Amino acid sequence: LCKHCAEIGRLKSWHQTECAAFKAAPEGAKKGDSSVLRMLMRYNAATRGDWADETMGKEPIGLLEQLEGHLTDIPEQSLNGLSRVTGLPSQTISRLIFQIRTNAAGIERGGERVGCSLSAFMGFANHDCDPSLQASVDDDGFLRLKALRDIGAGQEVCISYVDKNMPLAQRQRALMEQYRFQCGCEKCESQAASIAAKEQKKKDKKSAKKKKK
């Protein structure tokens, strides 16, 4: 329980409800990464009105409907199993999983992944490999967006969907696999041009050596 939730009685009760629902789920459904299952259970409860809402610092559940989601292959057997556990229709589960996979972000503490966060407000931000904003979750459990440099009036603010320090090829692969787009930001274009120039120099050197022979 984060500090913010522990200090608010309704939120403490809400977390107890979440834990009770999760404990009641079959053991097989809780193996491995259970973040998706938890989010589905939370969504189901929120739509019934017995979950935390914006009056407790939570985002309106309706914002989730506005997030983009890219199709992924989910076995029908898995969808049916999640439907039995969560009480949600399989079609709703499929849509939510698409949105979660496209918009969720990992939470790290001390360099280790400790959880998963889904924020509609953060999901509205576009990507740039040289972002002007950095997203983080503070000790009170709130999402924070911190400016990394001066941002001019009317200038679009962006976050990085992947680790901005990864090499170009790894960033491009991660973005394509999870978000289904090829990044053409200034940083990617510049690095791609630099790599192409180096490759061309290598080819020119090889050609020059062959001519000398």
Longest CA–CA span in the chain (Å) reads 82
Cα 129 to Cα 175: distance, rounded to the nearest angstrom: 10
pLDDT for position 56: 62
How many helices (DSSP H) and strands (DSSP E) are in the chain?
8, 6
Predicted TM-score (pTM) of the model is 0.68
Q: How high is the pLDDT of residue 1?
A: 44
Give the pLDDT of residue 190: 97
Burial class of residue 157 in the structure, from the number of CB atoms within 10 Å of its CB (0-12 exposed, 13-18 middle, 19+ buried): middle
What amino acid occupies position 36? V
Note whether 130 and 166 are within 8 A (CB): no
What is the C-alpha to C-alpha distance for residues 191 and 213, in angstroms, rounded to an integer?
34
168 Cβ contact partners less than 8 Å away, ≥ 6 residues apart? 188, 191, 192, 195
Q: What does each of the 213 residues of the chain score in pLDDT, given as a tens digit?
A: 455 555 655 555 666 666 777 778 888 777 777 777 887 887 887 777 666 555 666 777 778 778 877 666 788 888 888 898 888 998 888 888 888 778 877 666 666 766 667 788 888 889 999 999 988 877 766 778 889 999 999 999 999 988 899 999 999 999 998 888 999 999 999 999 999 999 999 888 888 777 766
Helices (H), 63-163: 76-86, 90-103, 120-123
